[in-house]
Amino acid sequence: MKTAVLGSGGWGTALALVLLDNGHETTLWSYTEEKNKILKEKRESPMLKGVALPEKLALTADLDCVRDCELVVLATPSFAVRETAAKLKDRLKPGTLLVSASKGIERGTSLRLSEVIEEETGGTCPVVVLSGPSHAEEVGRGIPTGVVAAGPDEETARRVQAAFMSRRFRVYTTDDRIGTEICAALKNVIALCAGCLDGMGAGDNTKALLMTRGMAEIARLSVALGARRETITGLAGVGDLIVTCCSMHSRNRRCGILIGRGVPIPEAIEQVGAVVEGCYAAANARTLAAKAGVEMPIAQVAYEVLYEGRDVTTVVTDLMGRAGRSEYEESWA
Ligand SMILES: NC(=O)c1ccc[n+]([C@@H]2O[C@H](COP(=O)([O-])OP(=O)(O)OC[C@H]3O[C@@H](n4cnc5c(N)ncnc54)[C@H](O)[C@@H]3O)[C@@H](O)[C@H]2O)c1
């Protein structure tokens, strides 16, 4: 089928290669003509070093590339999803499959990105969320990876599954867009915190504690917002949390490591050199938690460190000093 991928960062490029490898006619769209020119000249993305971009992958900076496409992937940073989707409205044919591959919650509105895309494209095209433990650097090299396609219904999710699925890229379907998107956005906050622990030289026990209790608070929020519990233990939940908190490919973790070592936050973000979604997600987590009336102590301290100048070295002691409680919300109630 004819496909386009919008956003030629690491993730957009890796997904374009998956589609191309599956025999689809694929165009990769860059936000600027300058970026498009570099990709055309080098036939390699600076975010995916050593991965050649085949000649049959069309490269453009013209959004008209989405006209006549059957499937369009949005893989820009989360802050650019609304403006990109808005430009699509008059170019898409009704019924085009839209795949939301960015991870985040919209700042200001706290909307999930599939909701933002639906709002801007007028609801004439179904939106499927693609998420899971999937570093672009590994997908680009064809390393076996598994993700979920979360659709508004099973049939639509299956169409996206069929487009992406290969021997190297396994896709499971689900109908839980809420859980998939909340987990995808909030694991970046926990990854930032995990990086901070690594940067401060904390122990493995402490990191396991953070990841497990981090997942517990993501679960609390997701379920309060209408997610299925199964999503939490699936690829988009625990799967993505593990990879993001443990891998050096994770820019959120890398940013956290720098913060944990005492590098000032703006400098840490600058040094990472790519979008650090966890910084935006920490602010959104706070808003969503307040709206849903759930407690998210880890996301809260992440916000205080990122936005209120709190000293990161004081955080572990404070979290450890919280009142004792049951591990499960519902027990002893
Ligand atoms: N890198 C990964 O492994 C990975 C995996 C899964 C999901 N994601 C998600 O995909 C999204 C993109 O991540 P990435 O790693 O490709 O980022 P990146 O930093 O590699 O690239 C971002 C790209 O967005 C472009 N851009 C900047 N401003 C823009 C705008 N206003 N409109 C359109 N495009 C703009 C930049 O030119 C750049 O090419 C993020 O939400 C991220 O969380 C990334």
Domain range summary for the chain, segments of one domain joined by + = 2-175, 183-320
At 129 the three-state DSSP class reads strand
User: What is the three-state SS of 227-253?
Assistant: CCHHHHCCHHHHHHHHHHHHCCCCHHH
| CATH of 183-320 given 1.10.10.10, 1.10.1040.10, 3.10.350.10, 3.40.1390.10 | 1.10.1040.10
pLDDT band at 333 (very low <50, low <70, confident <90, very high): very low
Distances (CA, A) of 13 to 48, 68, 110, 129: 8, 21, 27, 17
Q: Write out pLDDT tens, residues 57-112.
A: 999 999 999 999 999 999 999 999 999 999 999 999 999 999 999 999 998 999 99
Whole-angstrom distance, CA of residue 105 vs CA of residue 116: 9
Residue 234: phi and psi, rounded to 5, are -95, -170
As to burial, measured by CB atoms within 10 angstroms (0-12 exposed, 13-18 middle, 19+ buried), residue 300 is middle
**Mean pLDDT of the 156-180 span:** 98
CA dihedral sign of residues 269, 271, 272, 275: positive
What local confidence, expressed as pLDDT, does residue 138 receive? 97
pLDDT band at 275 (very low <50, low <70, confident <90, very high): confident
Whole-angstrom distance, CA of residue 333 vs CA of residue 16: 49
Ligand 1 binding pocket mutation candidate from 60, 66, 76, 143 (most atoms within 8 A of CB): 76
Share of the chain above pLDDT 90, in %: 96
Q: Write out pLDDT tens, residues 169-179.
A: 999 999 999 99
pLDDT band at 328 (very low <50, low <70, confident <90, very high): confident
At 28 the three-state DSSP class reads strand
Question: What's the 328 CA to ligand 1 centre distance in angstroms?
Answer: 36
**Mean pLDDT of the 113-138 span:** 97
2 pLDDT more than 90: yes
Of 249, 239, 260, the residue nearest 179 (C-alpha): 239
Active site residues: 187
The DSSP string of 247-301 is: -TT-HHHHHHHHHHTT--HHHHHHHH-S--HHHHHHHHHHHHHHHHT---HHHHH
Residue nearest to atom 38 of ligand 1 (CA): 9
Question: What's the 257 CA to ligand 1 centre distance in angstroms?
Answer: 21
**Mean pLDDT of the 114-134 span:** 97
**Mean pLDDT of the 143-152 span:** 98
Q: Name the residue type at position 213.
A: R
Is the pTM for the entire model greater than 0.85? yes
Distances (CA, A) of 61 to 6, 24, 105, 213, 329: 9, 19, 26, 43, 50
Domain range 2-175, CATH architecture: 3-Layer(aba) Sandwich (3.40)
Residue nearest to atom 41 of ligand 1 (CA): 102
Share of the chain above pLDDT 70, in %: 98
| Angle formed at CA 140 by CA 238 and CA 92, multiple of 5 degrees | 90
